[in-house]
């Protein structure tokens, strides 16, 4: 079984660009680069990763491209380009020459719902399909309804279970909206980012597992994929703890179902070589 981390980030910390990292997040106010991640992957038996954009710029995409060219354990890149731009087709055509780029993401959680409803955004999403690019959905639960009319047969994956309010144990309307999204067979879900939606300092497995129960029931083991959300996860847990959280939960599944969540689903979704 080849394990893959479907969701992690690299950055060279910049206090101006990375203002989202506030004073309570001191532990991630540092550079996080491949040489920092590789020992963690090795220690947890993980063979490769998907590097996900953390900044809204093509400079970020090029940064990740460069890191991937120097580190073969980076199996894919989910970058950024302006999907609302008039020249989006031109930019996607340009990036299609790099086989390591598997898809794109926009940090929608930082946008008003009106952004998701823009015709330009829908046009950009639709343009991804002809190049075989995927799209990572990063939203809060209240933004999910706006996404429902954008889903079709192209490849989408929901990051971090769409960030349910684990801290307060709230399920609705998150669960109902996830049920609708899960009805589209082209939509996958990342079992990632959960520890940081719980109480950073006092979370337990019992806080998180009910939410994993929901997505397992909705998406099935064939459309879930493990992701660490490293280094953001360090706000609440070390890398090994995130791995253990998922390993303990899926231990009740069959071997083939566990293999799917640990890596096969990510390899299928991102069309890894």
Q: pLDDT tens, 160-206?
A: 999 999 999 999 999 999 999 999 999 999 999 999 999 999 999 99
Among candidate residues 155, 118, 158, the one with its CA nearest the CA of residue 138: 158
pLDDT band with cut points at 50, 70 and 90 for residue 84: very high
SS (H, E, C) the chain: CCEEEEEECCECCCCCCCCCCCHHHHHHCCCECHHHHHHHHHHCCEEEEEEECCCCCHHHHHHHHHHHHHCCCEEEEEECCCCCCCCHHHHHHHHCCCCCEEEEEECHHHCCHHHHCCHHHHHHHHHHHCCCCEEEECCCHHHHHHHHHHCCCCCEEEHHHHCCCCCCCCCCCHHHHHHHHHCCCCEEEEECCCCCCCCCCCCCHHHHHHHHHHHHHHHCHHHEEECCCECHHHHCCCHHHHHHHHHHHHCCCCHHHHHHHHHHHHHHHCCCC
Q: Which CATH class is domain 3-269?
A: alpha beta
Q: What CA dihedral angle connects 91, 157, 8 and 196, to 10 degrees?
A: 130
pLDDT band at 209 (very low <50, low <70, confident <90, very high): very high
| Residue among 30, 6, 141, 150 nearest 78 (CA) | 6
Q: Is the pLDDT score of 1 beyond 90? A: no
Q: What is the CA radius of gyration of the chain?
A: 17
pTM: predicted TM-score of the whole model, two decimal places:
0.97
Looking at residue 231, what is its pLDDT? 98
Rounded to a whole number of angstroms, the distance between the first and last alpha carbons of the chain is 16
Quote the pLDDT of residue 149. Answer: 86
| Segment among 4-8, 219-223, 269-273 with least mean pLDDT | 269-273
CA atoms of 259 and 255, how far apart (whole Å): 6
pLDDT band for position 16 (cuts 50, 70, 90): confident
Write down the pLDDT at residue 24: 85
Domain-by-domain residue ranges, the chain? 3-269
């Amino acid at each position: 079984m080849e394990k893959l981390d479907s969701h992690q980030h690299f950055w060279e910390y910049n206090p101006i660009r990375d203002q989202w990292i506030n004073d309570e997040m001191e532990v991630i106010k540092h550079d996080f680069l491949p040489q920092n991640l590789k020992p963690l992957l090795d220690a947890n038996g993980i063979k490769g990763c998907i590097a996900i954009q953390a900044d809204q710029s093509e400079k970020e995409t090029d940064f990740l491209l460069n890191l991937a060219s120097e580190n073969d354990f980076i199996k894919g890149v989910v970058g950024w380009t302006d999907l609302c731009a008039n020249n989006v087709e031109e930019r996607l055509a340009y990036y299609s020459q790099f086989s390591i780029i598997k898809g794109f993401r926009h940090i929608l959680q930082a946008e008003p719902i009106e952004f998701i409803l823009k015709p330009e955004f829908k046009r950009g999403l639709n343009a991804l399909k002809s190049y075989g690019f995927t799209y990572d959905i990063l939203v809060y639960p209240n933004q999910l309804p706006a996404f429902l009319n954008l889903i079709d047969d192209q490849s989408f994956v929901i990051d971090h279970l769409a960030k349910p309010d684990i801290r307060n144990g709230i399920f609705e309307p998150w669960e109902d909206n996830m049920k609708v999204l899960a009805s589209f067979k082209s939509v996958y879900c990342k079992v990632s980012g959960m520890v940081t939606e719980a109480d950073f300092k006092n979370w337990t497995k019992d806080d998180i597992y009910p939410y994993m129960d929901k997505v397992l029931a909705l998406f099935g083991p064939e459309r879930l994929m493990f992701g660490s959300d490293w280094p953001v996860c360090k706000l609440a847990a070390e890398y090994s703890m995130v791995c253990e959280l998922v390993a303990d939960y899926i231990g009740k599944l069959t071997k083939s179902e566990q293999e799917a969540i640990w890596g096969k689903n990510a390899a299928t979704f991102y069309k890894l070589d």
